[in-house]
Amino acid sequence: MDVDLHALNRRGFLRGTGLAAGVGIAALAVPGISGAAVAVPRIYSCDEWAARPPSDTLAVLDHPANRILVHHIASANSTDYSRAHAFQICRDNQADHMDNNTWADTGQHFTISRGGYSLEGRHGSLDTLRSGNKIVRAAHCPGQNENAIGIENEGLYTAVEPPQAQWKALVVFCAYVCKQYGIPVEEIKGHRDFYNTECPGEALYAKLPQLRKEVALALKR
Ligand SMILES: [Zn+2]
């Protein structure tokens, strides 16, 4: 169903890299909405990338998310676009959050690698996203952790934009989150909109209007 990924394949962007399988998606028919279908991204779970167990109990809140906050990890703009690298990024990020920030687990709900892989961050985020009516209390933005889904993008986007594969994965992922929770695209925001931070970087922040537009199109397909 996802035309953009097919376009990437046609241009040879993903050909021969083994990446196409990693960002493979399936179509989800939406009951009650005639003709509507939203792409379901392949999301790698904490178990799949070998996360450490949380150091404390994580609260599951009995209400849906009502916003998405886009972040950048502010990590190196690696040219390793492999799945193995995406898994390593998640382990490094979790170790940073647990060991340096002394949080119970990864701060954000989800992570998207520069190679276009989508991964669970905080334990329980995937199950609650699939439920569409619960959210795990997170640690990605003070004041927003009980209502906003936090998505960290691998890389540093102060001056350069995310690679195509990551951007396309972000669009597909945000569309799926909006569909699951019934979030309007206007509620796709940047970390800096709610906190005194440069995150998600000037270049990525400038693309948020385009992100809302592309997510809206994906939701109409
Ligand atoms: Zn941030």
The residue behind tokens 């809302």 is 212
pLDDT digits (tens, 9 = 90+) for 127-162: 999 999 999 999 999 999 999 999 999 999 999 999
DSSP annotation of 108 reads: S
CB contact at 8 A, 110 and 150 = yes
If you write DSSP's letter for every residue of 123-147 in order, what string do you get? TTHHHHHHHSS-EE---SSTTTTTT
Confidence band, pLDDT 50/70/90 cuts, at residue 33: very low
Confidence band, pLDDT 50/70/90 cuts, at residue 31: very low
Q: Is residue 2 scored above 80 in pLDDT?
A: no
pLDDT digits (tens, 9 = 90+) for 154-173: 999 999 999 999 999 999 99
Cα of 33 to ligand 1 centre, how many Å? 34
Cα of 195 to ligand 1 centre, how many Å? 9
Which domains are present in the chain? Answer: 43-220 (3.40.80.10)
pLDDT at 36: 61
pTM: 0.85
Confidence band, pLDDT 50/70/90 cuts, at residue 221: confident
Cα of 201 to ligand 1 centre, how many Å? 9
CA separation for the pair 165, 15 (Å, rounded): 12
Cα of 196 to ligand 1 centre, how many Å? 10
Among the ranges given (16-20, 44-48, 149-153, 184-188), the one the predictor scored with the smallest mean pLDDT: 16-20
How large is the greatest C-alpha to C-alpha distance in the chain, in angstroms?
49
- Percentages helix, strand, coil for the chain (3-state, rounded to 5) are 35, 15, 50
pLDDT at 5: 38
Confidence band, pLDDT 50/70/90 cuts, at residue 37: confident
Confidence band, pLDDT 50/70/90 cuts, at residue 202: very high
CB contact at 8 A, 109 and 136 = yes
pLDDT digits (tens, 9 = 90+) for 56-111: 999 999 999 999 999 999 999 999 999 999 999 999 999 999 999 999 999 999 99
Confidence band, pLDDT 50/70/90 cuts, at residue 32: very low
CA separation for the pair 128, 198 (Å, rounded): 29
Cα of 191 to ligand 1 centre, how many Å? 5
Cα of 137 to ligand 1 centre, how many Å? 16
Cα of 63 to ligand 1 centre, how many Å? 23
pLDDT at 14: 38
